[in-house]
Amino acid sequence: MDTLTPQEVTAVMLTLGEKKAKQAYHVCFGAFLVQTWQGGSGTLRTDYPSVVSLVGAFFFPVGLIMLVLTGQELVTANFMVMPMALMKGRIKVWELPLNWLIVFFGNLAGALCLDAFMVHYSGLMTSTMTTIAQSAAVTKTSEGWGPCVLRGIGCNFLVCTAVWLGTGARETISKIAALHFPVFLFVFLGFEHVVVNMYYVPVGMIVGANVSSAKYIAQSLIPSFIGNVIGALLRDRHPHGPVLPPPALPLFNKLPGRSNSHESSETVVVDQSVDTGAGTLGDNIPETVTNGKKH
């Protein structure tokens, strides 16, 4: 399988962050799919809840896959990409919060439109799905701040890992596989994603859940937002993460066979037109130069 090196992924991410500073609701389709499956699972949901959760989690990533492959914006992915570009001096400080603000409210608007028009007013919600939606909204606003923040951290570490791996894949099937499994894992484990909850909680409120807007904002949206930001920053600082390519890490250079000299570090030359055209992460990678040799 042909994939990009960590340095090449870093190059793509930095250029992507720069582009985002100068310029979706797809993920919620996965949440709707899960509720549809749960609503039609009958006695399976009560007799074998883990099986129902496993199957739902397996199909959930379709939303993120559509979003990434069509080049749409997801604020939780930008929690990783934009700080990378800022730390490398590719964007201005004010461009980071502006991007987060615009994409956050864009994701919220898309999720609320899906809740209202594609789910509720379309008549697709069955009585069983209504009960599940109400229960989900109450559960997700009753976890408490601490657990919600921690679940948000775990969630976006996995989501950003999915985006990172998807960026490293050169062709579509590899991208789908790379995006799928980390997202499948976060859904099955019950972590909290601020944009996914923009679907789950409001749709439950629409169909009668005893949850106010203030409770949603205070007990779900804010803590999951904070947790997702922390998770993305942890992904940035991970030893295999994008901010510090492996050759630049002190511990990496101390491994047997590695030189402590900076001269041994690989240099990646990045064309500013990287990742243009199809709009998908990791496409159209330009020639790179490693230790003076073109690849």
Report CA-CA distances (Å) from 16 to 5, 90, 156, 216, 238.
16, 10, 19, 32, 19
Residue 294 has pLDDT above 60, yes or no: no
The band of 19, judged by pLDDT with boundaries at 50, 70 and 90, is low
Q: 12 Cβ partners below 8 Å, 6+ apart?
A: 4, 167, 274, 275, 281, 282, 285
Place of tokens 């001269």: 263
For every residue of 45-95, DSSP letters joined together read HHH-HHHHHHHHHHHTTHHHHHHHHTT---HHHHHHHHHHHHHTTSS-TTH
Backbone angles phi, psi at 164, to 5 degrees: -60, -50
- Is the pLDDT confidence value at 23 over 60? no
Length of the chain: 295
As a 3-state breakdown, the chain gives helix, strand, coil percent values, each rounded to 5, of: 65, 0, 30
pTM (predicted TM-score): 0.72
Q: Is residue 269 a contact partner of residue 294, using CB atoms and an 8 Å limit?
A: no
Asked whether residue 43 carries a pLDDT value surpassing 80, the answer given is: no
Tell me: the pLDDT tens digits for 216-273? 999 999 999 999 999 999 886 654 444 444 444 444 445 455 444 444 444 443 444 4
pLDDT tens readout for residues 177-215: 999 999 999 999 999 999 999 989 999 999 889 999 999
pLDDT at 278 over 50: no
- Give the domain ranges of the chain: 6-248
Q: In the CATH scheme, what is the homologous superfamily, with its name and number, of domain 6-248?
A: Glycerol uptake facilitator protein. (1.20.1080.10)
Please, which pLDDT band fits residue 12 given cuts at 50, 70 and 90?
A: low
Cβ neighbours of residue 193 closer than 8 Å, sequence gap 6 or more: 27, 76, 152, 155, 156, 159, 186, 224, 228
Q: Which residues contact 82 (CB under 8 A, 6 or more apart)?
A: 17, 20, 21, 91, 95, 96, 99, 100
Cα three-residue angle 93-166-109, rounded to 5 degrees: 60
Mean pLDDT value across residues 90-105: 89
DSSP state letter for 238: S
Backbone angles phi, psi at 42, to 5 degrees: 60, -135
Tens-digit pLDDT profile for residues 103-137: 999 889 888 888 888 777 888 787 888 888 899 99
**Token pair for 95:** 């461009």
Residue type, 35: Q
175-205 per-residue burial string, b: 16 or more CB within 10 A, e: under 16:
bbebbbebbbbbbbeebbbbbbbbbbbbbbb
Give the DSSP H/E element, type plus range, for residue 165. Answer: helix 145-168
